[in-house]
Amino acid sequence: MRATEGADRGLGSGDAETSVALVGAPNAGKSALFGRLTAEYADVSNYPGTTVETTAAALGSLRLSDTPGVHGISSFSEAERVTRTAVLEADAVVNVVDATQLGRDLFVTLQLTDMGVPTVVALNMMDEAEADGVAIDVDALESALGVPVVPTVAVTGAGVDKLRDRLPEASAPESTPIDSYYDALPDGVDATRAEKTLLVEGDEPTARRVGVPGLATDGGDAPLAAVGEREAVYRERRTRVRSIVDDVERVAASERAPEERLGDLLLRPATGIPIALALLAAVFYVMGVVVAQRVVGYAEGVLFARYYTPAVEGVVAGLLPASGWAAPVEFLLVNDNLGLATVTVRYTLGVLLPLVVAFYLVIGTLEDAGVLPRLAVVTDRGLGRIGLSGRAVVPLIVGMGCVTMAVVSTRMVGSRRERLITTALLGLAIPCSAQIGVISGLLAELGVVWWGGYLAVLLGVLGTAGVALDRTLPGRRDALIEQLPRLRLPRPTNVARKTANRTAAFLGEAAPLFGATAAAVSTLDYVGALDAVVGALRPLTAALGLPASFGRVLVLGLIRRDFAAAGMTDLALSASQTFVGLVVVTLFVPCILTMAMVLRERGARSALLVWVGSWATAFAVGGGVAAVLEVIA
């Protein structure tokens, strides 16, 4: 019976398009290999977990897909689910094994062969293994595994041709020790060998799909009966891994590599925290000062204000007749708030483009060096207090440069729950650099005491909101189990290519979204809905002790945060009014670009939560501050 199961898998099966999936641990070199095997380029980095979706490209007549890195085929995380599905659907798998981590990575290899998935092993990073004094007997490994093994160095391309040649040899042993566990399954289970393996390992999605009576849980409440089985299967597999590694690997005693000493420095709080702070300060300086202020300032203030906008306005005025039906069209195209041909283009090319490029350059460099997971480790303790793990440190810092880009970087943060908390905190209490510029100007006029007060209010809100979300959101905090990649010198070509790819992908998605939002807001503006909003805000602004004109500031803030702060400079306000106004403006809703990104990354429900939550927090905290100031005064 088992013999027929294998017949529809493998590269010889052929009429429909044959698919091959690249599977392996995070950071084992799947994406680099993907780039070598095909003409396409997948994101390559030294940060585990950067591939969150599968990327596919043609490899001759085959379809090759890159998958998120995993340490096993199961469903413990979003990445694992994606990879499990890809493995179950593929005709064959190229299992990328990090030669320096043989003892870790062979677990996946043996799991694949247990599942009966036709496999070729790419034994990658052979150069680093050699440098480490690790010698691997490739022939012995091949016969122990029962599948082809090809040594490769993906970043240089060594061994890649051989790997391509041997792809048709992808195979799996007829039977493996896993067979004895299948007896535990109920009789008459209609499942492939791959599915049976996942079933004895207690994989719930597989149980639900196959519909095993007694194994599948209807409500999802009772755990799968096979958890004990999973442990036995995993332990048995680890035993096989150990014996293979003992047979094929020889490790010469080697000296401590310099990068290891650097790794030590990063992990020791006394040195790691200053290094982390210095890196974060550098990130903030590049993103927040050099790019967000100088480059963007030049692009907006000179390139667009002096040349582009007047030219476009001239063209539009020349093309359209002066009256009648053309008025709304002209408004849509060139209005000062969000004109499609003027302000929208200026935001996309003059503001977003430089920030996106800078962001991907900085993040790409840190990823390539393998620094990010270590930053996460040193900051884990502090961020744990507000319901986050150390992985959230990068989004929070990037947020002080540009909250929009920070929302994109929340992908690095582990679970959905944690991503939502990070996004909410970003939207709520992290002022972006554009805003920080205007705000510091206004606070400087008030004096240092107000400055301290402002910081205290913001940090208080950040902490309170973090703790509140951590307590109220369903689920529990993820345990941090973070694999630390080895430190490497960043490769400039790699970083540059990655930046170009990601920037193009990002703008391709963000620009149309932003254009549509801009058109919608302009329409509301034209029909007078925005003025109605200003009117409706009057009771709220009055409750804060602020003039009605502050409502106009807030409406501007719906579009862009620094507009709101800048709008305040035109109002004649007392010191305490300015302070209250600044607190409200900072806590108020994120800019329209950020909201577009939250919508894309987190979905409508989260976007609504962030948006409504920002309104509520801004007015509640602003009102509280106003009341306190009144008592003091």
Partner 1 sequence: MVVALSEVPSDERVELVDVPDDECRARLLRLGLLDGSVECRRRIRNGPVVVRRRGTEVALGRSLAREITVERAPRDGAPQ
Binding site for partner 1 (CB under 8 A): 71-72, 74, 76, 100-101, 103-104, 107, 132, 223, 227, 230-231, 234-235, 238, 241-242, 263-264, 267-269, 373, 376-378, 380-381, 384, 389-390, 477, 479-484
Structural tokens at position 10: 């493998």
Contact 351, 296 (CB under 8 A): yes
How many residues are given for the chain? 633
- In whole angstroms, how close is the CB of 559 to partner 1 at the nearest point? 40
- In whole angstroms, how close is the CB of 134 to partner 1 at the nearest point? 8
Alpha carbon 579 to chain centroid distance?
35
- In whole angstroms, how close is the CB of 229 to partner 1 at the nearest point? 11
Q: Which is nearer to partner 1, 275 or 495 (CB)?
A: 275
- In whole angstroms, how close is the CB of 203 to partner 1 at the nearest point? 11
CA 411 to each of CA 26, 407, 422, 423, 477: distance values in angstroms, whole numbers, following the listed order: 15, 8, 10, 10, 17
CA distance 414 to 479: 10
- In whole angstroms, how close is the CB of 215 to partner 1 at the nearest point? 16
DSSP 223-258: PPTTHHHHHHHHHHHHHHHHHHHHHHEEE---PPPH
Q: Which is nearer to partner 1, 207 or 432 (CB)?
A: 207
- In whole angstroms, how close is the CB of 355 to partner 1 at the nearest point? 31
Please name which of 229, 354, 362, 227 lies closest in space to residue 283, comparing C-alpha atoms.
362
DSSP 332-370: HHH-TTT-TTTHHHIIIIIIIHHHHHHHHHHHHHHHHHT
Please name which of 368, 350, 253 lies closest in space to residue 306, comparing C-alpha atoms.
350
Q: Which is nearer to partner 1, 201 or 562 (CB)?
A: 201
Helix residue spans in 544-603 (DSSP H): 549-559, 561-568, 575-587, 592-602
Q: Which is nearer to partner 1, 36 or 419 (CB)?
A: 419
Q: Which is nearer to partner 1, 185 or 224 (CB)?
A: 224
Amino acid identity, residue 71? H
Q: Which is nearer to partner 1, 100 or 433 (CB)?
A: 100
- In whole angstroms, how close is the CB of 268 to partner 1 at the nearest point? 7
- Which residue, chain included where needed, has tokens 């961020």? 383
Which residues, 6+ apart, have CB-to-CB distance to 562 below 8 Å? 432, 434, 435, 437, 438
Q: Which is nearer to partner 1, 63 or 238 (CB)?
A: 238
Please name which of 478, 352, 346 lies closest in space to residue 405, comparing C-alpha atoms.
352
State which H helix or E strand residue 98 sits in.
strand 92-98
Amino acid identity, residue 77? S
Q: What are phi and psi of 129, to 5 degrees?
A: -60, -45
Contact 58, 20 (CB under 8 A): no
Bridge-based pairing state of the strands 134-136 and 249-251: antiparallel
- In whole angstroms, how close is the CB of 285 to partner 1 at the nearest point? 26
Q: Which is nearer to partner 1, 383 or 621 (CB)?
A: 383
- In whole angstroms, how close is the CB of 507 to partner 1 at the nearest point? 35
Q: Which is nearer to partner 1, 142 or 380 (CB)?
A: 380
The dihedral built from the CA positions of residue 224, 225, 227 and 230, taken in this order, carries a sign that is negative
| Residue 171 DSSP code | B
Bridge-based pairing state of the strands 119-124 and 19-24: unpaired
CA distance 20 to 41: 17
- In whole angstroms, how close is the CB of 214 to partner 1 at the nearest point? 19
- In whole angstroms, how close is the CB of 465 to partner 1 at the nearest point? 21
Q: Which is nearer to partner 1, 83 or 101 (CB)?
A: 101
Q: Which is nearer to partner 1, 30 or 391 (CB)?
A: 391
